[in-house]
Chain A
Amino acid sequence: MLITVASGKGGTGKTLIATSLAISLKNTYPVKLLDCDVEEPNDYIFLKPVITGNDPVSICVPVINEQICDFCGKCAAICAYKALAIWGKQVMIFPELCHGCGACSYLCPRKAISEQPRIIGAVESGYSGKICFVQGRLIVGEAMSPPVIRKVKSHADKNAINIIDAPPGTACPVITAVKDSDFCLLVTEPTPFGLNDLTLAVNVLKRLEIPCGVVINRNLGLRNEIEDYCQKAGIPVLLKIPLNAEIARLYSRGITLVEGMPEWQKVFIELFQRIQGIVYEGNSNTEW
Chain B
Amino acid sequence: MKEIVILSGKGGTGKTSIAGSFAALARNKVLVDCDVDAADLNLLLQPEIEKEQEFWCGYTAQIDPEKCTQCSICQNLCRFNAIKDFCVDSISCEGCSFCHHVCPANAITMRENLAGHWYVSRTRYGYLVHACLDIAQENSGKLVAAVRKEARTIATKNNLEMIINDGPPGIGCPVISSLSGSDLALLVTEPTLSGIHDLERVMEVCRHFDVPALVCINKFNLNLENTRQIERFCREQGVEVAARIPYDDVVTSAMIRGVPVVEFSRGQVSMEIEKLWNLILEGFESLPE
Contacts and interface: CB of A to CB of B under 8 A. Distances in A.
Interface of A: 8-12, 15, 37, 39-40, 42, 45, 78, 80-81, 99-103, 106-107, 138, 140-145, 167-175, 179, 189, 191-193, 196-197, 200, 203-204, 207-208, 248-249, 251-254
Contact of B255 (A167, A193, A252, A253): A193
B198 interface: yes
Given A78-B101, A175-B91, A204-B136, A39 B172 contact: yes
Given A9-B11, A11-B12, A99 B172 contact: no
B74 to A, nearest CB: 11
A103 B16 contact: no
B51 to A, nearest CB: 22
B40 interface: yes
A171 B98 contact: no
B135 A80 contact: no
Contacts of B40: 9, 192-193, 196-197
A174 to B, nearest CB: 8
A141 B135 contact: no
B231 interface: no
A171 B37 contact: yes
Contact of B12 (A10, A78, A143): A10
B29 interface: no
Interface stretch (B120-128, B189-197, B263-271): B189-197
Interface in B55-71: 59
Nearest to A170: B37
Nearest to B226: A252
A208 B137 CA distance: 12
A106 B100 CA distance: 13
A37 B148 CA distance: 26
Contacts of A203: 135
Interface stretch (B149-157, B163-171, B276-284): B163-171
Nearest to A195: B43
Given A40-B169, A168-B170, A254-B193, A99 B96 contact: yes
A42, A167, A172 pick with most chain B CB within 10 angstroms: A172
B138 interface: yes
A175 B201 contact: no
Nearest to B192: A252
Nearest to A245: B222
Contact of A45 (B79, B193, B222): B193
A168 B169 CA distance: 7
B98 A102 contact: yes
